[in-house]
Amino acid sequence: MYDREVASRSTCAGEHEIGLPGWGMCAITDTGRVRPHNEDSLALMPKERTALLADGMGGHMAGEVASRIAVDAAADFLSRGAFRGQRLQDQVLHACRIAHEAVMSAAKGDERLSGMGTTLVVARFQGRRLAVAHLGDSRAYRWRHNRLVQLTRDHSLAEELLRRGMLDTEEAARSLHRHTLTRAAGIEPGAEPDVHLQRWQPGDRYLLCSDGLSNAVSDGEIASLLMEDRDSLGDSLARLVDTANRNGGPDNISAILIQTGVPE
């Protein structure tokens, strides 16, 4: 089964060994300095080498409900082995689709939850491959050889305008359109996740985060904070959250850090 790791204030949910030398994962979440409560949800599945993160949105408390439903639905699917025979990329794709349908169904069944939705990012390792599926603007990064690479592209209007050449990178980073999502779990029927498949290397670190981190801490700052790779995963995550809060902490801040070790 899985552990749904959620903490309220700058508390690392605990470092988990994954059963192979050098592997580990850790999660942290923080309410930030502005929001009254935390609408992010996270899950760590160490035995399955899988992690999930969601950032909810909606009316009063509905965002928290949406993110929890999405993470629980996706994690339950990935823990039951119902995907056996599916390719790795199809496993994470199917998990996101199930989460999307679960949020849609809950919103239809309770008018108080109407309009709720959530971002979702799922990372899963098998063999020498990593698959990441996502909806919305929660991100996945890879840290390798002192270089940070963003693996996902935000499903936001600002990102779409950037792709079309209507905004440059700096304008997109400042644009209010970065908060307007073009895809999210539960928002509209047929929202399709993007899936990224790649080979990992021993010693990589992979960061999943909500926009409460990526909007408050630049990629350059994230790279600097991850530079000291001898630090524990928890220490690295704590520095990221502290920096986001020093930069204003305008949103909930959640992150998961995974370190790869020896192959199976």
Query: Does residue 158 belong to any structural domain of this protein?
Result: yes
**Alpha carbons 166 and 248: distance in angstroms, whole number:** 29
Kindly state whether residue 236 falls inside one of the protein's structural domains.
yes
Going by C-beta distance under 8 Å and a sequence separation of 6 or more, which residues neighbour residue 132? 92, 121, 122, 123, 124, 140, 151, 152, 195, 196
What CATH number does residue 247 fall under? Answer: 3.60.40.10
pTM: 0.90
Question: What is the structure's pLDDT at 52?
Answer: 98
8 CB burial (10 A radius; 0-12, 13-18, 19+): exposed
The answer to whether 23 touches 259, Cβ cutoff 8 Å, is yes
Instruction: Report if residue 145 sits inside a domain.
Output: yes
Classify residue 1: in a domain, yes or no. Answer: no
Task: Name every residue whose Cβ is closer than 8 Å to that of residue 227 and which is 6 or more positions away in sequence.
Answer: 146
The pLDDT, as a whole number, for residue 11 is 45
Please give the pLDDT value at position 231.
Answer: 72
Residue 58, pLDDT score: 80
- Range of the structural domain that residue 253 is part of: 11-259
Number of domains in the chain: 1
Q: For residues 13 and 5, is the Cβ–Cβ distance under 8 A?
A: yes
Residue 139 CA, distance from chain mean position: 5
Which mean pLDDT values do the consecutive 10-residue runs of the chain (264 residues) have?
A: 41 58 93 94 94 88 93 95 82 96 92 91 96 97 96 77 56 60 87 95 96 95 86 91 97 97 86
Residue 59: inside a domain = yes
CA distances (Å), origin 254, targets 11, 13, 61, 94, 128:
10, 11, 17, 24, 27
Cα-to-chain-centroid distance, residue 255: 7
What distance in Å separates the CA atoms of residue 62 and residue 66, rounded to the nearest whole number?
6
Counting other chains too, the contacts that 83-88 makes at CB distance below 8 Å and 24 or more residues apart are 88/124, 88/126, 88/127, 88/129, 88/131, 88/197
9 Ramachandran zone, left/alpha/beta (phi>0; psi -120 to 50): beta
Residue 6 belongs to a domain:
no
